[in-house]
Amino acid sequence: MKFDQKEIDNAIISTPDMAVRRRGGVQFASPITPRENMRLAFQKKQLWMPSAGDKNWFCPYIIPDNPARAFVIQGPKYEGPVGGDDMFGIYWEYVPSARGSIVRPGNPTLTDITKWREVIHFPDVDSWEWEKCAAENIEYLDNIPIYQNICIFTGWFERLISFMDFGPAAYALMNRKTKDDVKALMDALSDLWIDIVNHCHKYFGHHFDGFTFHDDWGAQDGPFFNERVVREMLVPYMRKVTDHIHDLGYTCDLHSCGKVERLIPCIIEAGWDSWDGMAINDYHALYEQYGDQLIMAVPGTECPTGADAEAQKEFAAKYVEEFAVREKPALISGYDRPGNDFAIEVYRLTRIKYSEEDGD
């Protein structure tokens, strides 16, 4: 599909709408939708370099963690309570200034990891109102033009934190004396995620595109734990879920904050197709080494702040030369995109580049 300048001339500039947690950006008059292009990116056949803003989380109220975390994104406007109990009965306190929720530390539900079987009560997923929720959202999912991932709050390590508080959770994960109990809990969590995945597949069918799991592994200066811990305590249980998701025909995305670049091999081994990380990681090195194995959102933070249109275009050309390799799909980071001129030029250059590679 040869590039036509009208794709840019007829573009629409949208602004962020944090009420529904949607990012703003440029909506091009492209020959296919951003959703279709994102699907092609997972096959290494994209028509242009997608943006992280071309994908969205579908977080229906039916999964109790979404209202508890104040993160409901769906078709019908959600007007119910935010904060409160998640699927395990753990109370999340809503913080208005952050537009999110947190488990208040100091009074953990689980104080002894060896007692988790008696203390932690797993939810009855069958009892949730799946049919009602699906009926309310199928049309929304079918008509939205960007990639839709059902997001699962909260992942393996974050779930352990919600049970125990951060310090005890990290200690339990790395304590040789309790690691068998932690492994058993991680395996049980994987079975729960598979149950939820199966319900999503049954009731929403292929009206959505994939799954995102949220599991932060690092702080600003490095990861919380080393590769050995991740490979032993997290990777096998993640792989159990990602293999199942792939068998159903969906993609797997891991949202993991922090400077976790050392753990990227573990993320790949765990079966994730894409990783949503932070700009503090070294994306030049990561893309060079792992870009053919993992789709990542590459920030454009090196473009000078306040750069004029020509400077942004010059940086876009360098950015495309490094990060727009067809067989190594990457996303323009929706958080750090420095401006419309940069995004427009990346679109134009990659549309031309990929169409020429296709012989158009």
pLDDT at 26: 75
Q: What is the pLDDT of residues 326-356, one digit of tens each?
A: 999 999 986 555 567 888 999 999 999 999 9
Residue 321, amino acid: E
Triad 107, 108, 114: Cα angle to 5°? 140
| Angstrom distance (rounded) from CA 116 to CA 228 | 24
pLDDT at 1: 85
Cα 244 versus chain centre, distance: 18
Give the model's confidence band at 21: pLDDT under 50 very low, under 70 low, under 90 confident, else very high: very low
Is residue 5 predicted with pLDDT exceeding 50?
yes
Q: What is the pLDDT of residues 131-156, one digit of tens each?
A: 999 999 999 999 999 999 999 989 99
Query: Tokens in use for 227?
Result: 């590769």
Is residue 287 predicted with pLDDT exceeding 60?
yes
Output the CA torsion sign for 263, 153, 205, 26. Answer: negative
pTM reported for the whole predicted model: 0.94
Mean pLDDT of the chain: 93
Residue 49: burial class (beta carbons within 10 Å; 0-12, 13-18, 19+): buried
CATH of 33-357, one of 3.30.70.1170, 3.90.180.10, 3.20.20.210, 3.30.450.40: 3.20.20.210
Query: Tokens in use for 32?
Result: 């296919």
Query: Tokens in use for 46?
Result: 């994209």
Q: What is the pLDDT of residues 68-119, one digit of tens each?
A: 999 999 999 999 999 999 999 999 999 999 889 999 999 999 999 999 999 9
Query: Tokens in use for 16?
Result: 């962020």
Name every residue whose Cβ is closer than 8 Å to that of residue 312 and which is 6 or more positions away in sequence: 303, 338, 339, 341, 342, 345
pLDDT at 306: 79
| Angstrom distance (rounded) from CA 343 to CA 265 | 29
pLDDT at 285: 97
Distance between first and last Cα of the chain: 6
Could you tell me if 310 and 339 are in contact, meaning their C-beta atoms sit under 8 angstroms apart?
A: no
Higher pLDDT, 15 or 211: 211
pLDDT at 27: 83
Q: What is the pLDDT of residues 204-251, one digit of tens each?
A: 999 999 999 999 999 999 999 999 999 999 999 999 999 999 999 999
pLDDT at 315: 93
Other C-beta atoms closer than 10 Å to the C-beta of 48 total: 29
Please state the φ and ψ torsions of residue 82, each to the nearest 5 degrees.
-120, 155
Q: What is the pLDDT of residues 173-195, one digit of tens each?
A: 999 999 999 999 999 999 999 99
C-alpha atoms less than 13 angstroms from C-alpha of 202 in its C-beta half-sphere:
11
Q: Which helix (H) or strand (E) holds 319?
A: helix 309-323
| Angstrom distance (rounded) from CA 266 to CA 260 | 10
- The answer to whether the bond into 301 is cis (omega within 30° of 0) is no
Closest CA to 351 of 34, 52, 22: 34
CA distances from 249 to 52, 147, 205, 207 (A): 21, 15, 10, 12
